[in-house]
Amino acid sequence: VCAQQELLPCQSLPKNLLFQLLGLSIATLSTVTHYGLHFTLISNISLESNSYRVIHHAAFYFGICLSMTLILAALLSSAATVRESQCLTAMGFFCFALAFCGLIPAACWRYTHSTEVEDSMMDVYDLVYEEVRRNASSFRRHELTAIHEAFLCCGKHSPFGDTANVEGKTCPSGQIRNVGQDCLREIQDFLKKHMDFVSTLLGIAIGFTV
């Protein structure tokens, strides 16, 4: 019995280390989402009436809080195992419960609002593109050029049929040949890959938390 009791801390420490790594992964993903070039560029250009900026900041703060909760729960569980403290064990379970209560709404929001982020990002591009097409202001043209360089795309398919002039001024020299490379499609594909990664990480976190 004594030998089994001595093995318990060693057996539980790898699990707690896994939760710490999971918390660090969520923190890293949140930081990349918040400070990544593609996301910050769209956020800086978006208008206050566009919902993307709110989602952009909310996702970062939520991810950081969630990661800190998981790391704290793992640390408390490790300390409780080593010291065999019921108080620390209760605090660890409470942190895991908080993390679980945050993960479930996040996963539900991901599937019930799957197109909201995508639509808001494409609305930003549409706004900048149409303003450049109508006005060709240097400020908006600079923003549109930055989007084309970040997403490696060139313009979009427009029903007006007068996009060649816009794309000739805003597409990087290496992308002008790929005028058919629709930026709306590139934004959609980029965000889909990112959100798939978010969904996978949320699913893993929910599974291990349970």
For residue 56, pLDDT beyond 50:
yes
User: Residue 197: inside a domain, yes or no?
Assistant: no
Cα 186 to Cα 154: distance, rounded to the nearest angstrom = 9
What was the pLDDT predicted at 175?
58
* 42 and 63, same domain (yes or no): yes
Q: What is the largest CA-CA distance in the chain?
A: 81
Residue finishing a domain among 111, 138, 171:
111
Q: Band of the pLDDT at 4, cuts 50, 70, 90? A: very low
User: Residue 207: inside a domain, yes or no?
Assistant: no
Residue finishing a domain among 79, 111, 143:
111
- What is the tally of helices (H) and strands (E) in the chain? 8, 0
Q: What would the pLDDT profile of 165-208 be if each residue is shown by its tens digit?
A: 677 777 876 655 555 468 899 999 999 999 999 999 999 999 98
74, 162 Cβ separation under 8 angstroms: no
Torsion sign, CA atoms 107, 113, 114, 116: negative
User: Residue 193: inside a domain, yes or no?
Assistant: no
Q: Rounded to two decimals, what is the model's pTM?
A: 0.81
Q: What would the pLDDT profile of 92-112 be if each residue is shown by its tens digit?
A: 899 999 999 999 999 998 888
154, 84 Cβ separation under 8 angstroms: no
Count: domains in the chain: 2
* 104 and 140, same domain (yes or no): no
Q: Quick one: DSSP state of residue 157? A: -
* 101 and 152, same domain (yes or no): no
What was the pLDDT predicted at 140?
85
For residue 27, pLDDT beyond 80:
yes
What was the pLDDT predicted at 153?
86
Angle separating helix axes 52-83 and 183-209, nearest 10 degrees:
20
* 38 and 126, same domain (yes or no): no
Highest mean pLDDT among 70-74, 112-116, 138-142, 151-155: 70-74
Cα 100 to Cα 59: distance, rounded to the nearest angstrom = 16
- Once rounded to an integer, what is the mean pLDDT over residues 33-44? 93
* 159 and 85, same domain (yes or no): no
* 47 and 127, same domain (yes or no): no
User: Residue 4: inside a domain, yes or no?
Assistant: no
* 106 and 123, same domain (yes or no): no
Provide CB contacts within 8 A for 75, sequence distance 6+: 16, 20
For residue 71, pLDDT beyond 80:
yes
The encoded tokens of residue 193 equal: 């890959």
* 16 and 105, same domain (yes or no): yes
User: Residue 148: inside a domain, yes or no?
Assistant: yes
Domain that holds residue 49: 12-111
